[in-house]
Amino acid sequence: MRIPTAIKLHKASKTLELHYGPDERYSLPAEFLRVHSPSAEVQGHGKPVLQTGKLYVGLNKIEPAGNYALKLTFDDGHDSGLFTWDYLEQLATRQAELWSEYQAALAAAGKSRDPNESMVKLML
């Protein structure tokens, strides 16, 4: 288990920056973190629930959860699920692969990252 040497919340760019030593940095967008939340709401007790319409979600705050995790509070009200150090490292190092899989799942379901697109479909 690696613990980040620095953690920075950038509200303006809606990213969480993780540093692992002087030369290893990852920037994780709030949307990416939100759709990969370890919460039961997202993970679905073993059957993940596809998260849609999270394009504009941001992070309000981060809090330590003991010595093993972070609790992230998103501006859409989601604040359950603890992001352990191991899980954060996995998200950071596999970001491109996980994002590609997420986008493929959205496309297969005919869903969108943009919450306004579903509103437009409902109005038609």
pTM: 0.92
The string of pLDDT tens digits covering residues 22-61 is 999 999 999 999 999 999 989 988 889 999 999 999 999 9
Sheet holding 15-19, edge to edge: 6-10, 15-19, 25-29
Which pair of structure tokens corresponds to residue 27?
A: 């920037």
Residue 108: in which H helix or E strand, if any?
A: helix 95-109
What are the Cα distances from residue 1, in Å, to 36, 74, 100?
19, 25, 25
| Domains located in the chain, CATH noted | 6-123 (3.30.2020.30)
